[in-house]
Structure 1
């Protein structure tokens, strides 16, 4: 996708809605339904790039954020007041066909998992080192002018060190109803139930460091092992040929979360 696509919110929305309508029309599809959840900037795109190369799978382009299913009066509010509307979540997942992938950034809540499980989704949770989530978040906001916190982060904080600390600790609202940024420390606490409950709820937990591969500073062997675990989670045989095929086809896909970035470099995280 071009940089213009990501910066132009209207164009992006039109194209996503068109694709979503196309995906919903595919009522004849077969295969597992996959629900990928993660902390923002922890590797959702990277995991999706791998999983959509599994034969028979495609993106639905459904992505669920907290405030898409919040049943309180707030459009955006502190994460501690988040109240998931379980039935709204169910209605959104109902638009995903067999053989399609949905993604989300949703804190741990047993009701959300139960709905996904009841509807036959294979749940995957992606996690990442906290310091890399912080850096990726910083450079994502810096590089995306349409982000609701871009101007405030750039104008209220003078250096990348100050901005990184703000990303870590959170940016509070200046007045009632003002936009705020949840700190990555608090996000991790709210999301990690998906990983801590993996033996109970049957989710597969993927570490960003294991799926990024040698080009992203990880291990090629660990990446191929993770691809094998994904295939087994989807009840597929992880043959060497299939693992190599998925590894090769997904390796060149770019994502905003790919690089961790360096403080002061001015680079945009991918």
Structure 2
């Protein structure tokens, strides 16, 4: 169960550590307001692909941690946790995050000089990636529930339709359907201070996309950061063939980080379920023109 007492106690202890680090920055180093690059994403949408590009740009630092709206055990993190954890990072860090679009998160960002990026992906590929990840990640609160299913088709269906509270009976674990869940992130796409990026536009030739589109998008990223590089420098530093997916902490051997993998994995039942919970959202995001896919 996701809300066991030991998980709550462990997260309180974790937050105390980040609070102490935050106070050290504010009181000892007199450094409350910092400069950050926010590498934000809807989970399983290509966080590390964007992160690799950002840390290739001179002048910014890798930061090994991730700021998320939800802990792996399933408990939702508080606004204080996000504030303290973000504030404990060194200035000029690249912050990977899975943060929803809401006033509480925006208020935390306003305390710093944040340049924000948001990467999202075809939600059908997200569902496929999520199902595989949950099966392989023992720390995630849905792991044991997914392993009870004998077929991957049923696990994938969970990632599409969600997990109702009390499934299995007596459990505190729950997960919204993918359309309802993504709606909490939707605001980032139209946020005027955020560069919203489609994963499919960033994968380049290596991931089955267009290299020209990728490089044009990287030019846009560099312009947002007021960094000037020549066309040749951009091609040399940021070609898709130069990116190493194995550096991602969630890299799965055999997965190519490409687009459209859902087409081989989805059955007609998966398609029908997806249309029910997120069909209109796919059209809104530009991944389909109508519901006849």
- Residues 19-50 of structure 1, C-alpha deviations (whole Å, 9 max, x = no match): xx9xx99x9xxx95201111110111111011
Q: Does 1:245 align with 2:236?
A: yes
- Distance in 2 (CA, whole Å) between partners of 1:143 and 1:83 is 23
Tell me which of the two structures has the higher relative contact order, counting C-alpha pairs closer than 8 angstroms and 6 or more residues apart.
1
TM-superposed deviation, 1:182:
3.3
1:107 corresponding residue in structure 2? 100
Q: Secondary structure at the match of 1:121?
A: strand
2:137 aligned residue (144, 149, 159) = 144
Distance in 2 between the 1:239 and 1:114 partners? 36
Alignment match of 1:263 (pick from 262, 265, 268): 265
State the TM-score, normalized to the length of structure 1.
0.72
Counterparts of 1:229-244 in structure 2, within 5 Å, are 229-244=220-235
Distance 1:140 1:90 in 2: 28
Q: Does 1:54 align with 2:57?
A: yes
The correspondence for 1:153, drawn from 146, 158, 163, is 146
Cα RMSD for the two superposed structures = 2.9
Write out per-residue CA displacement over residues 211-250 of structure 1, whole angstroms, 9 at most, x where no aligned residue: 1111111111111111111111112114213312331485
- Residue 72 of structure 1 is matched in structure 2 by none
Corresponding residue number in structure 2 for 1:165: 157
After TM superposition, give the deviation of residue 125 of structure 1 in Å: 0.7
The runs of 5 or more residues in structure 2 that have no matched partner are: 1-16, 267-293
Work out whether 1:98 is the aligned partner of 2:91: yes
1:1-270 matches, cutoff 5 A: 33-67=36-70, 76=74, 84-85=78-79, 87-155=80-148, 157-174=149-166, 178-196=172-190, 198-199=191-192, 202-248=193-239, 250-254=242-246, 255=248, 256=251, 258-259=257-258, 261=261, 262-263=264-265
The 1:238–1:116 alpha-carbon spacing in structure 2 relative to 1, beyond 3 Å, is: farther
Q: 1:165 to 1:221 in 2, by over 3 A?
A: same
The structure-2 alpha-carbon separation of the partners of 1:154 and 1:259, relative to structure 1 and needing over 3 Å to count, comes to farther
Partners of 1:61 and 1:101 within 8 A in 2: no
Residues in 2 aligned to 1:160 and 1:117: alpha-carbon distance in whole angstroms? 43
| In structure 2, distance between residues paired with 1:46 and 1:64 | 17
Once residues 65 and 221 of structure 1 are traced to their aligned partners in structure 2, the CA distance between those partners, rounded to angstroms, is 32
Quote the Cα distance in structure 1 between the aligned partners of 2:143 and 2:258: 19
Flag structure 1 segments of 5+ consecutive residues without an equivalent. 1-16, 69-74, 265-270
What TM-score does the superposition give when structure 2 sets the normalisation length? 0.67
What is the SS of the residue equivalent to 1:124? strand
Does the 8 A contact of 1:32 with 1:99 survive in 2? yes
